[in-house]
Amino acid sequence: MSDKNATVNLNGANLDMPVHQGSVGPEVVDIRKFYAQTGAFTYDPGFTSTASCESGLTYIDGGEGVLLHRGYPIGQLAEHSSFMEVAYLLLNDELPSQDELNDFTYTITRHTMLHEQLMQFYQGFRRDAHPMAIMCGVVGALSAFYHDSTDIADPEHRKISSHRLIAKMPTIAAAAYKYSIGQPFLYPDNSLSYTGNFLRMTFGVPAEPYEIHPAIERALDRIFILHADHEQNASTSTVRLAGSSGANPFACIAAGIACLWGPAHGGANEAALNMLREIGTPDKIPHYIERAKDKNDPFRLMGFGHRVYKNYDPRATVMQETVREVFDALKVTDPVFETARQLEEMALNDDYFKEKKLFPNVDFYSGVILSAIGFPTTMFTALFALARTVGWVAQWNEMISDPGQKIGRPRQLYTGPTQRDYIPLDKR
């Protein structure tokens, strides 16, 4: 219980509300009894000041550029850990022992195949369908194929469906890509790592062996780590809200994918690279910076700005280092990287971006790396979805396991007409 209160004076009456302190981070005023005691709602469109849940997974200090998963800094996880280890950490509270990691990796590896009939589901899509459109559909359809793991009240069902989602996502995303280019789907190869398997299913062909480049496998695995979870972002909140009604996990993750697709969220990596290619050469940068600052122009610098980070996004720092690593490994370069670098430098020295505390976010450099590896821009957000599935299922599990969990049901500030009588058609 809290021993500190915040007091609101409304219509002459004082209401005391408990103030909670998390393990770290801002104090949180508990307004749950606010309506019952005052008859008034609070108003916070976009949830800029509202904690929607209690969570022990991920902590962000946006002012300091800190991101922790279960207390571990993202920079340390990106440097020393693997995506499978981070997935285990998010799902299970602690880093795994070697045996626990082996068991977890084994389990995930054994769930990578898709029901054969689900593979036929792809044929219903047009060849030019966006991979995210396919993923929304196919992931939602998992609930029609894996009935044996949809009882959300059963922890074992929740665990199996979580493992299935994490394991099948690379197969689903790779198949979406293969379908778009008219190549045969490749079945998973269980002798490969999670990320190596995804690379092979995406870029391999049945006619010849696919050689995995270790530096690329490591770089992509790190990109997955950087995207694994990000506390109560829009898609995670969507998954929680969908899950709060008791919907099955596959449907909830499909809802998360739909939300992630938007250019203000996961779609920004695709939009950022498209923007950099449109800018083309560094001499055009000032023109685009002016456009981004112009209130009458809808153009924004994609991959810039964040609701929470008002200092450098720590994931962007790792991304920028990874660009060089990938270029060196593949012995390639891309003029778009120089454009990105100069755009970042110019924006960071511009008063508009300084005043509004707008910095590059995780999506600014990720597209440059993914493009160098060979992914088309339309696959970028699909890769984000693949990695974020870990965070979505971990957050969903945390919510369902909470005995106090309620259906999410926000209220509103109603500004429509007050009650009036129906007007018959001939009188209108």
Tokens representing 123 are 């044929």
Cα→Cα distances 142→165, 260, 384, Å: 9, 19, 19
Candidate ranges 109-117, 133-141, 359-367, 405-413; the one touching ligand CMC (CB under 6 A): 359-367
From the CB of 344, what's the least distance to ligand CMC, in Å?
Answer: 12
Candidate ranges 68-76, 149-157, 243-251, 354-362; the one touching ligand CMC (CB under 6 A): 354-362
Give SS3 for 308. Answer: coil
- Order the strands of the 66-69 sheet from edge to edge: 58-61, 66-69, 72-73
Number of C-beta neighbours around residue 386 at 10 A: 26
DSSP 6: E
Nearer to ligand CMC (CB atom), residue 197 or residue 381: 381
Taking the C-alpha atoms of residue 155 and residue 149, their distance in angstroms, rounded to an integer, is 10
200 binds ligand CMC (CB under 6 A): no
Q: Is 120 left (phi over 0), alpha (psi -120 to 50) or beta?
A: alpha
Contact between 367 and ligand CMC by CB under 6 A: the answer reads no
Q: What is the closest distance, in whole angstroms, from the C-beta atom of residue 300 to ligand CMC in the complex?
A: 4
Report CA Rg, the chain.
23
Nearest distance from C-beta of residue 180 to ligand CMC, angstroms: 23
CA distances to 100, 253, 418 from 422, in Å? 65, 41, 12
- Decide whether 70 or 315 has the Cβ nearer to ligand CMC: 315
Which of 174, 226 has the CB closer to ligand CMC? 226
The alpha helices in 13-124, defined as continuous H runs, are 34-38, 74-80, 83-92, 98-109, 116-121
**What is the footprint of ligand CMC within residues 221-260 (CB under 6 A)?**
233
AA identity, residue 191: S
Decide: is 292 part of the binding site for ligand CMC (CB under 6 A): yes
- Does residue 285 interact with ligand CMC by CB under 6 A? no
Kindly tell me which of 134 and 259 has the beta carbon lying closer to ligand CMC. Answer: 259
Residues 295-314 that bind ligand CMC (CB under 6 A): 300-307
User: Would you state the structure tokens that stand for residue 6, as one six-digit string?
Assistant: 């915040």
- 202 lines the binding site for ligand CMC (CB under 6 A): no
Q: Taking contact as CB under 6 A, which single stretch among the options 114-122, 165-173, 206-214, 263-271 is the one that binds ligand CMC?
A: 263-271
Would residue 221 show up in a list of annotated catalytic residues for this protein?
no
CB of 374 to ligand CMC, least distance (A): 22
Q: Which of 58, 361, 381, 397 binds ligand CMC (CB under 6 A)?
A: 361
Shortest Å, Cβ 238 to ligand CMC: 12
List 217, 221, 363, 398, residue binding ligand CMC (CB under 6 A)? 363
Backbone phi and psi for residue 393, each to the nearest 5 degrees, phi listed first? -70, -35
User: Which of 69, 130, 230, 306 is labelled catalytic?
Assistant: 306
Q: Tell me, by CB under 6 A, how many residues bind ligand CMC.
A: 19
Distance CA 293, CA 229 (A): 30
Which residue in the shown chain puts its C-beta closest to ligand CMC?
A: 305
What is the nearest approach in angstroms of ligand CMC to the Cβ of residue 187?
Answer: 31
The residue (of 146 and 384) whose beta carbon lies closer to ligand CMC is 384
- The pair of structure tokens assigned to 324 is 């060089």
Are 257 and 176 a contacting pair, CB within 8 Å? no
Residue 265 binding ligand CMC, by CB under 6 A: yes
Do residues 201 and 188 make contact, with C-beta atoms less than 8 angstroms apart? yes
Pairwise CA distance, residues 90 & 390, whole Å: 7
- Distance, in Å, from the CA atom of 397 to the CA atom of 239, rounded to the nearest integer, reads 11
Q: Return the number of the residue (213 or 300) whose C-beta is nearest ligand CMC.
A: 300
Q: What does the chain come to in residues?
A: 428
**115 assigned to active site:** no
Q: How far is the CB of 301 from ligand CMC (least distance, A)?
A: 4
State in angstroms the smallest separation of the CB of 221 from ligand CMC. 19
CA distance 347 to 360: 9
3-state secondary structure of 294: coil
Q: Catalytic: which of 363, 402, 421, 426?
A: 363
Q: Does the footprint of ligand CMC cover residue 264 (CB under 6 A)?
A: yes
Binding positions for ligand CMC, rule: CB under 6 A:
233, 264-266, 268, 292, 300-307, 356, 358, 361-363
Name the residues annotated as catalytic.
Answer: 306, 363
